[in-house]
């Protein structure tokens, strides 16, 4: 069971606020008995019972079966249903559009990938995004009305309003009001963020950076980017333009990939999207020309990585993105170059989230957005959640 879309208010304001308090009390904790919910919400026990019954009727809260073997009559316990609503995450790249739908705890229920081209027209790429989310929903027996938040990750520089200021990878993407164009397509909040930042977030939530508060995420694949976690938070900068060390000519990040694509061992006719993988695999097997090409590629990667590390002094550098599955080939030469210039050497780890790091980060970002709304709800005038439903 999942919830129908919001449709005007039939819960009174007070009942909505009480319901929000109860949801807050139950979200992210173990199942609680009524007494604990009452104590956390400050409601009387009868009011708590009433609110919890109502939330059970709406499908947002469920009773947990008593633990077998409990002596005496155990108190009934309740938990927030992570399937009360759903989150969608999308990764719009130059060559692929990935999408996933997850429950409110971030568990993925369906995902899709569709190939596109850097020159795919804007309208076509947006249509792919819509079809990708619709496909995930259809596979899961859900509709758009079940979505509580949609987060779009995209290559390029994205401002706070969800506009793509600049994208080198998708030329027709620069200047696009992506939040505006996609906002009307879903009956919930639609947020847009830079792909490398979302991937960095995913690493701190479900990847190799869990527990670290100072992280530099190096997003490497056909293009390079960084996502920065500073003091435990995603760092955007004053104008949402942080992490763009690749713009510094001295880093040579824009041309680094040519060392792999242009390697002489690549068989004629290999599609560009397979050339780098071919060279990385040959380097793993010890081919001298491939090893030399990888060394030159890492030379370029290392300058921007070292600049970011020297600026921030992170605990951890995570190598992620499409090339992270070749981390065994890339990490040793990257480590030696960083050691040569860094005053304090951070730990280096390879991501295990692979190509899905952005879409997972989009889901995690959507869950954060939802939690911010839940926890801010009693200070603001508006209720952000679809709590006023038709029954």
- The residue within the footprint of a second copy, chosen from 123, 139, 310, 376 (CB under 8 A), is 310
In this chain, which stretch among 70-78, 118-126, 238-246, 382-390 interacts with a second copy, using CB under 8 A?
238-246
- In the bound state with a second copy, the residue whose beta carbon lies nearer, of 30 and 238, is 238
Is 108:363 a contact under the CB 8 Å cutoff?
yes
* Residue closest to 218 by CA, chosen among 131, 148, 316: 316
Residue 230 φ/ψ, nearest 5 degrees? -120, 125
Stretch near a second copy under the rule CB under 8 A, chosen from 78-86, 128-136, 224-232, 268-276? 224-232
Q: Is 363 left (phi over 0), alpha (psi -120 to 50) or beta?
A: alpha
Among 239, 272, 288, 332, binds a second copy (CB under 8 A): 239
Q: Binding string, 322-341, against a second copy, x = CB under 8 A? A: -------------------x
Minimum CB distance to a second copy, residue 169 (Å): 15
Report the side by side order of strands in the sheet with 224-230.
233-234, 224-230, 215-220, 316-320, 347-350
- Minimum separation from the CB atom of position 59 to a second copy (A): 38
Which region among 17-25, 147-155, 225-233, 373-381 touches a second copy (by CB under 8 A)? 225-233
Q: Which is nearer to a second copy, 202 or 234 (CB)?
A: 234
- Which residue in 89, 145, 346, 386 binds a second copy (CB under 8 A)? 346
Which listed range, 33-41, 186-194, 230-238, 378-386, lies at the site for a second copy (CB under 8 A)? 230-238
Nearest by Cα to 218 from 297, 274, 284, 301: 301
Of the candidate residues 85, 221, 314, 321, the single one contacting a second copy (CB under 8 A): 314
Nearest alpha carbon to residue 275 among 230, 309, 323, 242: 323
CA atoms within 13 A on the CB side of 187: 15
Helices (H), the chain: 13-26, 34-41, 45-58, 122-139, 178-183, 195-206, 258-261, 272-284, 288-312, 327-341, 357-376
- By beta-carbon proximity to a second copy, the closer residue of 235 and 284 is 235
Nearer Cβ to a second copy, position 50 or 214?
Answer: 214
214 contributes a contact to a second copy by CB under 8 A: yes
Name residues contacting a second copy, limited to 241-270 (CB under 8 A): 241-250
Q: Is 343 in the site for a second copy (CB under 8 A)?
A: yes
- Answer yes or no: are the C-beta atoms of 154 and 116 closer than 8 Å: no
Residues between 152 and 211 with contacts to a second copy, criterion CB under 8 A: 157, 165-166
Encoded tokens for 301: 């990667």
Distance CA 312, CA 214 (A): 8
Q: d(Cα 135, Cα 70) in Å, to the nearest integer?
A: 44
In three-state secondary structure terms, 58 is helix
To the nearest whole angstrom, how small is the minimum distance from the Cβ of residue 225 to a second copy?
Answer: 12
Binding residues for a second copy (CB under 8 A) = 157, 165-166, 213-214, 226, 228, 230-231, 233, 235-250, 303, 306-308, 310-315, 341-344, 346
């Amino acid at each position: 069971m999942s919830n129908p879309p919001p449709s005007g208010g039939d819960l009174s304001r007070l009942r909505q606020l009480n319901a929000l308090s109860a949801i807050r009390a139950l979200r992210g904790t173990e199942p609680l008995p009524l007494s604990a919910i009452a104590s956390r919400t400050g409601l009387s026990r009868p009011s708590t019972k009433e609110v919890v019954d109502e939330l059970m009727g709406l499908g947002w809260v469920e009773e947990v079966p008593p633990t077998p073997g409990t002596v005496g009559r155990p108190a009934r316990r309740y938990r927030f249903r992570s399937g009360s609503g759903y989150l969608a995450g999308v990764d719009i790249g130059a060559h692929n559009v990935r999408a996933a739908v997850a429950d409110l705890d971030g568990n993925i229920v369906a995902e899709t990938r569709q190939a596109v081209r850097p020159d795919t027209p804007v309208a076509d790429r947006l249509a792919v995004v819509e079809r990708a989310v619709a496909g995930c929903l259809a596979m899961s027996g859900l509709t758009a009305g079940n979505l509580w938040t949609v987060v779009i990750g995209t290559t390029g520089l994205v401002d706070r309003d969800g506009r793509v200021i600049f994208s080198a990878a998708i030329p027709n993407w620069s200047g696009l009001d992506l939040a505006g164009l996609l906002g009307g397509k879903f009956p919930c909040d639609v947020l847009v963020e830079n792909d490398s930042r979302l991937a960095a977030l995913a690493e701190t939530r479900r990847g190799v950076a869990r527990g670290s508060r100072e992280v530099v995420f190096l997003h490497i694949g056909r293009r390079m980017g960084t996502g920065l976690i500073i003091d435990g938070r995603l760092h955007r900068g004053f104008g949402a333009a942080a992490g763009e060390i690749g713009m510094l000519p001295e880093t040579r990040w824009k041309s680094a990939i040519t060392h792999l694509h242009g390697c002489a061992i690549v068989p004629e006719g290999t599609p560009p999207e397979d050339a780098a993988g071919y060279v990385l695999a040959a380097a793993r097997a010890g081919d001298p020309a491939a090893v030399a090409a990888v060394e030159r590629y890492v030379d370029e990667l290392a300058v921007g990585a070292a600049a970011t590390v020297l600026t921030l002094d992170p605990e951890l550098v995570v190598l992620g993105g499409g090339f992270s599955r070749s981390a065994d080939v890339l990490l040793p030469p990257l480590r030696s170059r960083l050691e040569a210039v860094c005053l304090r050497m951070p730990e280096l780890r390879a991501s295990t989230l692979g190509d899905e790091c952005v879409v997972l980060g989009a889901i995690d970002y959507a869950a954060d957005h939802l939690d911010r709304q839940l926890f801010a709800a009693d200070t603001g005038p508006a209720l952000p959640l679809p709590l006023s439903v038709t029954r």
